[in-house]
């Protein structure tokens, strides 16, 4: 919201600057044209004055007019160059704010990973790629066990730090081509394109174990004595669904993992 307001103010300032520059340039151009006209008139008067004895006087007027033209031309050049430089700087600033604003619309502010809006976009793109090249596509839904208990006993600020750390751990266990998004609350979604079911299981287990082994302040107050996560993993290969349906399938397995004791991963492999 703040970035959007900055962008709006910058655009308005840029427009005002262009208007001022255009008015100044137009004014100087008008003066220049008027002076040129005076020179032409002076030239005609000089030619006429050659026969009336006023040649020197008229030539002096022309030289003075030419001097004024040079000064106006230099002023116009300075305004034009300044306008171009300032415009490029302003455009660069506005473009930077635009892309920063656009980026923020797809990033979760707390954890720094993708948000749900970005998740659906990425998932739709990966489904199309998987269908085209007949590659496997894995979705993992991850939920922090007893997160409400952790929040209640350690405070919401500690809960926020827990979410940030979990997000960092997940990012450290996946590839650059993979994606992680905060799906909502304490739940995360992970997309693993072109990953076999067995390979995806190894990634899921690495994430689960890394979080269980990590230290979190106040974790001893958790029912299990440490922070753990439950995961639902679904690999699709040759039988692709919509992004929402794939997420629902992984979410169903996630809740099965929770119901069967937590701190575990339950998976399924869909193929024709």
Lowest mean pLDDT among 57-61, 96-100, 203-207: 57-61
* Structural domain boundaries, residue 71: 2-104
* pLDDT, position 35: 56
pTM score over 0.85: no
Please check whether residues 97 and 124 belong to one and the same domain.
Answer: no
User: For residues 106 and 115, is the Cβ–Cβ distance under 8 A?
Assistant: yes
**Residue 49 falls within a domain, yes or no?**
yes
Please check whether residues 12 and 39 belong to one and the same domain.
Answer: yes
Smallest CA-to-CA distance from 32 within 62, 64, 70 is with: 70
Q: What's the CATH code of the domain at 172?
A: 3.30.70.270
Please check whether residues 62 and 167 belong to one and the same domain.
Answer: no
Catalytic residue among 76, 131, 186, 194: 186
Last residue of a domain, one of 104, 125, 149: 104
**Residue 109 falls within a domain, yes or no?**
no
User: For residues 265 and 205, is the Cβ–Cβ distance under 8 A?
Assistant: yes
Known active-site residue 186: yes
Into how many domains does the chain fold?
2
pLDDT digits (tens, 9 = 90+) for 124-157: 999 999 999 989 999 999 999 999 999 999 999 9
At which residue do the structure tokens 């990973």 appear? 113
Is the pLDDT at 248 greater than 90? The verdict is yes
Last residue of a domain, one of 104, 134, 155: 104
- Reading the block at residue 7, the tokens are 């962008």
**Residue 97 falls within a domain, yes or no?**
yes
Please check whether residues 122 and 25 belong to one and the same domain.
Answer: no
């Amino acid at each position: 919201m703040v970035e959007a307001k900055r962008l709006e103010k910058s655009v308005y300032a840029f427009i005002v600057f262009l208007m001022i520059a255009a008015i100044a340039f137009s004014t100087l151009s008008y003066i220049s044209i008027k002076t040129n006209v005076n020179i032409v008139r002076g030239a005609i008067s000089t030619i006429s004055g050659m026969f009336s004895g006023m040649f020197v006087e008229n030539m002096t007027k022309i030289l003075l007019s030419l001097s004024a033209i040079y000064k106006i031309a230099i002023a116009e050049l300075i305004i034009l160059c300044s306008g171009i430089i300032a415009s490029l700087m302003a455009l660069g600033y506005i473009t930077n704010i635009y892309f920063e604003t656009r980026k923020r619309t797809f990033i979760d502010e707390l954890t720094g990973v993708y948000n749900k809006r970005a998740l659906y976009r990425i998932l739709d793109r990966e489904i199309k790629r998987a269908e085209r090249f007949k590659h496997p596509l894995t979705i993992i839904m991850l939920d922090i066990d007893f997160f409400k208990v952790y929040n209640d006993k350690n405070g919401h600020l500690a809960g926020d730090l827990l979410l940030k750390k979990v997000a960092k751990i997940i990012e450290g266990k996946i590839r650059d081509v993979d994606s992680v998004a905060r799906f909502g609350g304490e739940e995360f979604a992970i997309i693993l394109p072109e990953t076999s079911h067995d390979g995806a299981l190894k990634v899921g287990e690495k994430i689960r174990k890394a979080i269980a082994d990590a230290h979190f302040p106040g974790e001893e107050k958790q029912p299990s004595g440490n922070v753990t996560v439950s995961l639902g993993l679904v690999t699709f290969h040759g039988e692709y669904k919509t992004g929402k349906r794939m997420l629902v399938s992984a979410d169903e397995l996630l809740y099965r993992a929770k119901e069967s004791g937590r701190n575990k991963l339950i998976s399924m492999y869909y193929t024709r």
